Amino acid sequence: MNIELEKNMFDPYLGQHLFEEHERRVCALQWERVALKARAERTNAMAQLAGKCVRLAVGLAMTTWRWGRSTLHRTPPPPRHPVRLDAK
C-alpha cells in the first residue's frame, strides 16, 4: 500500500481538512453567485437608464420635428405699422 495513502487514512484531522475544503468551495460558489447577481443587476440598471435616455432624446427630437413641420409652411405675420405718437 502507498505510504501517503496510509498516512491519510490515519490522519485524525482528515475529516476537518475535508470539511474545510468543502467550506472553501461552497464559499467560492456563493461569492461567484453574488458577483453574477450584482453584475446582472448593474447591467439591468444601465439598460433601464439607457432606455430612459433614448426615450427622452426621441421625445425631444419628435417634438422638435413636429414644431419644425408646423412652422415650416406658415407665412410670417405682416409687420405692424409703427404707432405715431404725434398723430391726431
Q: What is the pLDDT of residue 16?
A: 82
Tally the domains of the chain.
1
Residue 44 included in any domain: yes
Residues 6+ apart with CB under 8 A from 8: 14
In this prediction, residue 44 carries a pLDDT of 94
Specify if 6 maps to a domain.
no
pLDDT at 1: 46
Full domain range(s) for residue 58 = 12-66
In a domain, 60, yes or no: yes
The 10 Å CB-count burial string (b at 16+, else e) for 35-73 is: eeeeeeeeeeeeeeeeeeeeeeeeeeeeeeeeeeeeeee
**pLDDT tens per residue across all 88 residues of the chain:** 455 555 556 667 777 888 888 899 999 999 999 999 999 999 999 999 999 999 899 988 888 888 776 666 666 667 777 666 675 5
What whole-number distance in Å separates Cα of residue 44 and Cα of residue 49?
9
Look at residue 61 and tell me if it is in a domain: yes
Residue 30 included in any domain:
yes
Whether 28 is in a domain gets the answer yes
> Is 43 domain-assigned?
yes
Does any domain span residue 35? yes
